[in-house]
């Protein structure tokens, strides 16, 4: 199977390392900058569970047009403006029967695919509809990543915590391609589960990310620090409860399975979520996928989100200052 990892940062780099090391499929990598240069010269190093995994891609490029058509594209670009900007490249790289797996945080752009009475992309996540029109939702698989990673230097990824993926069809079907992609990832040494309700899995993780990721970015305090600060811990619980309320109004009741007070204190010292990593590195942050779209859903459904309303405005201002817009 021809498999391309499109974006080899923290998550993409982790997955690329495991798949290349397993030597079970034909793996190529699309990356850029210092990460690409490190891959070409030294390869990738993944530090996980007290061991190191080393792998060097046979093909690593910043020009996806040089690659042959791919059976599977694992898209690990952050859900910022860079994702819709890459729509055309991703679409052209897909083989006629290929599929793209979007390994992104938060609400995905394909959310309305197969939803009763709903259709079309989400403007906050795909403003011009490029992903919807070019990649096409019917050629995608959803993915929820439970795999905290950080690039500590070019080509070197440190992984801590859980390590598994959840895959699902946007229309919740059990398809041959879903099984095929899950099997490929499993061959590569990545624990992979399939879901017949991928949106529920998205909401389960997002309720946590909408609080921990966002507040860490604004305060530059890691998850351990957030969980021990009474005021920030209370703010985290409010954000989680608002996200859970929106999910419930959409049909996914998570209230009985999520202990908000316990989860608000879950973080360990030094645990830096992705949005905090992006802020400290001066990169654009995933405001809309992690919180802006929750607010948009809330307004459609008449669900009050007073805490999220304040936090999302602060995050948008922070993102604007980072981008110099």
Q: What separation in angstroms does the CA of 136 have from each of 54, 183, 198?
A: 35, 23, 18
What is the model's pLDDT at position 156? 97
State the number of CA atoms in the 13 A half-sphere of 309 facing the CB.
6
Residue 179 CB contacts under 8 Å (≥ 6 apart), including other chains:
194
What is the model's pLDDT at position 60? 97
What is the model's pLDDT at position 212? 93
* Residue 194, number of CB atoms within 10 A of its CB: 17
What is the model's pLDDT at position 199? 97
Architecture, CATH, for domain 200-323: Orthogonal Bundle (1.10)
- For the CA atoms of 34, 271, 166, 95, the dihedral, rounded to the nearest 10 degrees, stands at -10
Residues 35-52 have pLDDT tens digits of 999 999 999 999 999 999
Domain boundaries, the chain: 2-196, 200-323
- Per the document, the length of the chain is 325
Q: Which H/E stretch holds residue 263? A: helix 260-264
- In three state form, how does the secondary structure of 187-220 look? HCCCEEEECCCHHHHHHHHHHHHHHHHHHHHHHC
43 and 57 Cβ atoms separated by less than 8 Å? yes
State the burial class of residue 170 (Cβ atoms within 10 Å of its Cβ: 0-12, 13-18, 19+). Answer: buried
What predicted TM-score, i.e. pTM, was given to this entire model? Answer: 0.95
Q: Which H/E stretch holds residue 44? A: strand 44-48
Give the CATH class of 2-196: alpha beta
Angle between helices 176-187 and 10-22 (to 10 degrees): 80
Q: Which residues are part of the catalytic machinery?
A: 205
Q: What's the sign of the alpha-carbon dihedral 11, 16, 21, 25?
A: positive
**Which two structure tokens, joined as six digits, stand for 16?**
């690329």
pLDDT < 50 regions, the chain:
none
User: What gap in Å lies between CA 89 and CA 210, rounded to an integer?
Assistant: 30
What is the model's pLDDT at position 115? 82
What is the model's pLDDT at position 325? 66
* Sheet of strand 156-159: strand arrangement: 51-55, 44-48, 156-159, 149-153
What is the model's pLDDT at position 136? 95
What is the model's pLDDT at position 18? 97
**Which two structure tokens, joined as six digits, stand for 271?**
């645990």
The residue behind tokens 């891959």 is 39
Q: What share of the chain is helix, strand, coil (3-state, %, to 5)?
A: 45, 20, 35
| Helix, coil or strand: residue 13 | helix
Q: Among 189, 137, 209, which residue's Cα sits nearest to residue 168? A: 137
Strands (E), 68-129: 70-75, 94-102
**Which two structure tokens, joined as six digits, stand for 230?**
């009474």
Residue 309 CB contacts under 8 Å (≥ 6 apart), including other chains:
295
């Amino acid at each position: 199977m021809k498999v391309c990892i499109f974006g080899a940062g923290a998550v993409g780099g982790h997955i690329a390392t495991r798949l290349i090391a397993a030597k079970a499929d034909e793996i190529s990598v699309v990356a850029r900058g210092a990460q690409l240069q490190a891959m070409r010269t030294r390869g990738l190093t993944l530090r996980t569970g007290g061991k190191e995994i080393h792998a060097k891609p046979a093909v690593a490029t910043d020009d996806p047009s040089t690659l042959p058509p791919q059976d599977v594209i694992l898209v690990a670009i952050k859900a910022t403006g860079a994702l819709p900007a890459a729509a055309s490249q991703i679409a052209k790289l897909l083989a006629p029967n290929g599929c793209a797996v979007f390994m992104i945080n938060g609400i995905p752009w394909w959310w309305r695919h197969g939803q009763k009475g709903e259709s079309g992309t989400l403007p906050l996540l795909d403003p011009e509809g490029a992903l919807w029109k070019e990649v096409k939702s019917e050629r995608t698989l959803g993915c929820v990543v439970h795999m905290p990673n950080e690039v500590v230097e070019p080509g070197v990824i440190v992984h801590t915590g859980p390590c598994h993926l959840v895959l699902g069809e946007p229309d919740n079907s059990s398809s041959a391609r879903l099984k095929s992609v899950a099997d490929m990832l499993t061959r590569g040494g990545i624990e992979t589960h399939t879901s017949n309700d991928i949106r529920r899995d998205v909401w389960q993780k997002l309720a946590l990310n909408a609080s921990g990721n966002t507040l860490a970015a604004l305060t530059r305090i890691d998850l351990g620090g957030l969980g021990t600060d009474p005021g920030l811990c209370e703010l985290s619980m409010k954000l989680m409860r608002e996200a859970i309320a929106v999910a419930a109004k959409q049909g996914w009741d998570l209230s009985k399975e999520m202990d908000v007070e316990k989860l608000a204190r879950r973080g360990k010292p030094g645990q830096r979520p992705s949005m905090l990593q992006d802020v400290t590195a001066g990169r654009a942050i995933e405001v809309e996928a992690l919180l802006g779209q929750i607010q948009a859903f809330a307004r459609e459904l008449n669900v009050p989100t007073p805490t999220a309303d304040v936090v999302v405005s602060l995050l948008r201002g922070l993102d604007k200052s980072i981008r110099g817009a």
